[in-house]
C-alpha cells in the first residue's frame, strides 16, 4: 500500500490511498448498430485510490477510478471509404 495523497473529492480536499491493480479482467462490450456496424468498447482502469473516511450508503469505502476507453469499429463494406 502506498503513502496517502491529497485529492479533490466533491469540492473538498481529502486524503486518499493509491492502490495497485493486482489483477484485472477487462471485457469488451459489443453494440450492433442499425447500419450493420459493430462497435466494441472496453474500459481500462489506469489508477485506483480509496478515499479515507468516506463511505457509501452500504458502508463500503469510496473508491475513485481513473480509466480510459478502448474502442474498435467493424463496419460493412458499403459504409467504408472507397480507395
How distant, in Å, are the alpha carbons of 1, 28, 69 from that of 75? 44, 17, 19
* Position 83 confidence tier, pLDDT thresholds 50, 70, 90: confident
| pLDDT at residue 49, as a whole number | 98
Assigned domain for 13 exists: yes
Does the residue 83 lie in any domain?
no
Question: What range does the domain containing 20 cover?
Answer: 5-76
pLDDT digits over 29-75, tens only?
A: 999 999 999 999 999 999 999 999 999 999 999 999 999 999 999 99
Residue 65 lies in a domain: yes
pTM for the model stands at 0.77
As a whole number, mean pLDDT of residues 68-83 equals 95
Structural domain contains residue 12: yes
- Domain count for the chain, please give it: 1
- DSSP codes of every residue in 34-51: TTS-EEEEEEEEEEEEEE
Amino acid at each position: 500500500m502506498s503513502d496517502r495523497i491529497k485529492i479533490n473529492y466533491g469540492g473538498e480536499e481529502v486524503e486518499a490511498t493509491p492502490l495497485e491493480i493486482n489483477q484485472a479482467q477487462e471485457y469488451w462490450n459489443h453494440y450492433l448498430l442499425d447500419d450493420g456496424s459493430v462497435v466494441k468498447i472496453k474500459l481500462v482502469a489506469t489508477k485506483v485510490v480509496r478515499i479515507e473516511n468516506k463511505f457509501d450508503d452500504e458502508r463500503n469505502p469510496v473508491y475513485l477510478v481513473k480509466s480510459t476507453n478502448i474502442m474498435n469499429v467493424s463496419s460493412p463494406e458499403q459504409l467504408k471509404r472507397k480507395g
